Structure 1
Amino acid sequence: MPNIASILKAEISRVARKEVRAEIETLKKASVAHRASIAELRRQVGALEKELRRVAKGTTRAAPAADSDNETEAGTKRRFSATRLAAHRAKLGLSAAIYGQLVGVSGQTIYHWEQGKARPRAVQLESLAAVRELGAREVAERLSA
């Protein structure tokens, strides 16, 4: 006659395995569903990124055409160099605050431009170009006026 303890242990083990198997099946089904939804979301993100690139490419093509109209009206397109701005200010021997008065901005803005933390807008580039064309005497006259 077999030992009751070993039979009881075997039966408990069998029932426990059956319960665990049932739980694992539900978890596997949930995992498959989650993986499918993740794959679908990745496809959607890929499609949206592709469309975003297409739209961005279309706007960059349209933007130069609009800029060329502005160039003909305003003259030539201006370029900006932080080191040249600093060199011009040093050549004139002006502080950033005084140079900013000539351009029409604050001294802090001049510092930010020179350090490359910010870039001037188109209108400010025109003001910078106008100041750049001035000599030391003309700058002194403007400051005294």
Structure 2
Amino acid sequence: MSTLAVALKDEIRRLARKEIKAHTGPTAQAVAQFRREIAKLKRQSREYERRISFLEAQERKRIGNPEPNDSAIEGGRFSPRSVKAQRRRTGLSAADYAKLVGVSGLTIYNWENGKSRPRTEQLASLIAVRGLGKRQAQAKLELLKAADTKASHKPRALRRKAG
């Protein structure tokens, strides 16, 4: 009798496994397909992020470094009133305008009040910023701020190496 009970239990177990496999098989296949699709989407996402960061870097270079021609630098004049007028025309604070030029906010105030004059390199960047309109100046400032926030979020070890 015990062999009959064992055989019956084995048969029941076999049939139960067969039924469970029949019911869960399509679900398992769907899960495997979804995992493949998720992995594919993750690869695409990484590729798009890489492309976006490359394009952002190119745009930063393009907008960030307007090249004034040499004749403009040589013939470039500086007056405190013109710096103040340019800053007001773009609608920027002294700190924001300073970021565009690549100096400190205090330097902009000193230039506007006639307490100091820009060096040749600073005059070149000042002349380059002169040609920017209000929207262009805002766009360049946003790119500079984005670059600053990215640099500040790097791990300490990477900041030392980059600097």
Normalising by structure 2, we get a TM-score of: 0.43
Higher relative contact order (Cα pairs below 8 Å, separated by 6+ residues): 2
Question: Which is greater in Rg?
Answer: 1
Normalising by structure 1, we get a TM-score of: 0.48
